[in-house]
Amino acid sequence: MSNINPHKEKQKLEKKMKSGVTKKQPISERRRFFLDIARSVGLATLGGLTWSAYVSEVSASKLTLRPPGALKEEDFLSTCIKCGMCVEACPFDTLSLAKPGDNKPLGTPYFIPRDIPCYMCPDIPCVPVCPTGALDILSVSGENKKLDINKADMGVAIVDQTNCIAFWGIQCDACYRACPLLGEAITIEYTKNKRTGKHAFMKPVVNSDVCTGCGLCEKACVTEKASIFILPREIALGHAGDYYIKGWDKDDEKRLENATSEITTTERSKNKAVDTLNSGLEDLLK
Amino acid sequence: MKNFLYKHRFLFLRRFTQTLIMFLYVIANVYGINILMGNLSSSLFLGLIPLSDPYAVTQMFFAGAILTFDVIIGALIILTFYAIVGGRVFCSWVCPVNMITDLANYLRRVLGFNQIQKKQPASRNIRYWAIVLSLIISVILGITAFEFISPISMIHRGIIFGLGLGWAAMLVIFLFDLFVLKNGWCGHFCPLGGFYSLVGKFSLIRVNHDSDKCTACMKCKEVCPEMQVLHMVAKETKPVLSGECTNCGRCIEVCDDDALIFTLRNKKIGEENENN
């Protein structure tokens, strides 16, 4: 403020007034107070929106494969503190923390099975070291709280039937042999090869209820780009919903215990179904 | 040479602790020498003592995470430590970003950028707004808002686990501090620094100013990254009480008159002079 020359300022002001510009009203304390508040709130909103947009964008990568025992993705994102202790615990260097440029939620652990799959250590060293429980010991423990890596759910293997050479009729069971749950998670289905008339297709079939998503099959796959690969379960699998049930399977009925139904009432459904059926064509034409 | 070392004693000590902590993390990851595992977000000291970033844990809580015993204990240990020694001791003695912003600040001084750009158009209170915003966003989006954009984490994670494009975060902070705003990141925006300012509000270790010895040369204010905390210099004999002081000790080093020293909070210096 000290370097403003008051004389010069006055001259400037007079000049302005002559040129028709009205003298500025000084802003009252009260007005300044409200303006300051408005400005702060506005800037905070601006910052907040930009920040939220960025964060929800960077955390939206759904194709991330997590270590064994990871919570559901949305819970995982709020619970993982990004310390990297699981990464350090892994003896195979399977896991890495997402770096800027990896296009994965920043700082969270993930693995790429085609590079290094999960080798399914029976003692699961990556899980107990997690300080926040983002890797949940209970989810990979069987009875007696004994660790059981076969309960892990990192994803599920999907076979690309167009490019898998076993589906061409060439004999290959690399994925089947590589599977740590051989004969359970991947089975070989024999069908007749009609093209040759004397050979068999030996097609790998993934049992998605058993598959842990370790990715050893993806690593072992002989095609240039793997024809069997791991996807997160919620990406790869469908969901039958409550409308369909395996009538022959008693356990499947349990699935419907908490089912809710939704009843829509239209003009026509106010009548009984039998009446509508008996009423002939004119009711349908209404 | 001896004088040079003495005049930079805290600076060298700070660089030593900053490097040592990063070194311990790196050897834990690379060679499995597990003195200090993890990173600045959460670690395990000597395979036994959990340590966690209390601000990250706060965000987790607001994001709806179920906090485990380990992270709560870890966060309390860190919180207690910094509440005693001064919250922002983290900033100047631990945080690796400090080396970047100190370099920008140094270049600003020696190259004369401070002279051509005297106005500081941003408020240092932005960091407190950023804390509030981070917690609101954590609640709404259900993820730890600052942890997903934090350049601090990008950098310390980068040093320990591989940098990726994290060098860009380093460069952005460096250029911002050098050309846009003096002490821009650490002194204005960083909510973690703001958080530790609040934590260290009542800390014990403080810089104390003795106005009788002061010759008003203002070297301390020139070098201080949070110069508003030195408002008493050449005016009053009293300790620097603001939590925004990082206890970096640069002011003590540059003072040729011994007018600034580290003391405990309530210890009065020059008390008898005041009474006269």
Query: pLDDT for A142-180, tens place per residue?
Result: 888 888 898 899 999 999 999 999 999 999 989 999 999
Residues A81 and A122 in one domain: yes
Contact assessment for residue B18 and residue B96, using Cβ atoms and an 8 Å cutoff: yes
CATH number at A205 reads: 3.30.70.20
Would the CB atoms of A78 and B144 count as touching at under 8 Å? yes
Cα nearest neighbour of A84 on chain B: B38
Would the CB atoms of A51 and B56 count as touching at under 8 Å? no
Residue with tokens 């204005």: B188
Last residue of one domain, picked from the residues A192, A218, A236: A236
Cα nearest neighbour of B140 on chain A: A52
Q: Is the pLDDT of residue A182 over 60?
A: yes
Which candidate from A48, A87, A106 shows the least CB-CB separation from B136?
A48
Helix residue spans in A71-211 (DSSP H): 73-79, 85-89, 174-178
Q: Is the pLDDT of residue A3 over 60?
A: no
Q: Is residue A125 part of a domain?
A: yes
Residues A222 and A162 in one domain: yes
Q: Is residue A89 part of a domain?
A: yes
Residues A95 and A173 in one domain: no
CATH number at A142 reads: 3.30.70
For chain B, residues with pLDDT lower than 50 are: 270-276
Residues A148 and A207 in one domain: no
What is the reported pTM?
0.81
Q: Is residue A19 part of a domain?
A: no
Q: What is the pLDDT of residue A268?
A: 67
- From A24's Cα to the closest Cα of chain B, the distance in A is 23
Q: What is the pLDDT of residue A32?
A: 87
Contact assessment for residue A149 and residue A118, using Cβ atoms and an 8 Å cutoff: no
Q: What is the pLDDT of residue B276?
A: 36
Q: What is the pLDDT of residue A154?
A: 93
Model confidence pLDDT, tens digit, residues A195-215: 888 899 999 999 999 999 999
Cα nearest neighbour of B189 on chain A: A47
Report the pLDDT averaged over residues A39-45: 87
Residues A122 and A204 in one domain: no
Q: Is residue A180 part of a domain?
A: yes
Q: Is the pLDDT of residue A16 over 60?
A: no
Instruction: Round to whole Å and give the CA distance between B51 and B48.
Output: 10
Last residue of one domain, picked from the residues A152, A186, A202: A152
Would the CB atoms of A83 and B41 count as touching at under 8 Å? yes
Picking from B119, B147, B170 by the largest number of A CB atoms within 10 A of its own CB, the best residue to mutate is: B147
Last residue of one domain, picked from the residues A152, A187, A214: A152
Domain residue limits at A199: 156-236
Q: Is residue A269 part of a domain?
A: no
Q: What is the pLDDT of residue A12?
A: 58
Q: Is residue A74 part of a domain?
A: yes
Cβ–Cβ contact A56 with B under 8 A? yes
Would the CB atoms of B149 and A97 count as touching at under 8 Å? no
Chain A residues within an 8 Å CB radius of B53:
81
Residues A137 and A199 in one domain: no
Of the listed ranges A58-67, A96-105, B41-50, B61-70, the one predicted with least confidence: A58-67
Residues A161 and A145 in one domain: no
Residues A181 and A220 in one domain: yes
- Which helix (H) or strand (E) segment holds residue B89: the answer is helix B89-93
User: Which domains, ranges and CATH numbers included, belong to chain B?
Assistant: 2-199 (no CATH), 205-275 (3.30.70)
Residues A190 and A202 in one domain: yes
Instruction: Annotate B139-176 with DSSP letters as a single string.
Output: HHHSS-TGGGT-HHHHHHHHHHH--TTHHHHHHHHHHI
Which candidate from A47, A51, A99 shows the least CB-CB separation from B164?
A99
- From A87's Cα to the closest Cα of chain B, the distance in A is 8
- From A40's Cα to the closest Cα of chain B, the distance in A is 9
Domains contained in chain A, number: 2
Chain B residues within an 8 Å CB radius of A81:
41-42, 52-53, 56-57, 60, 71, 144, 147
Would the CB atoms of B145 and A52 count as touching at under 8 Å? yes
Q: What is the pLDDT of residue A286?
A: 59
Report the pLDDT averaged over residues A227-234: 92
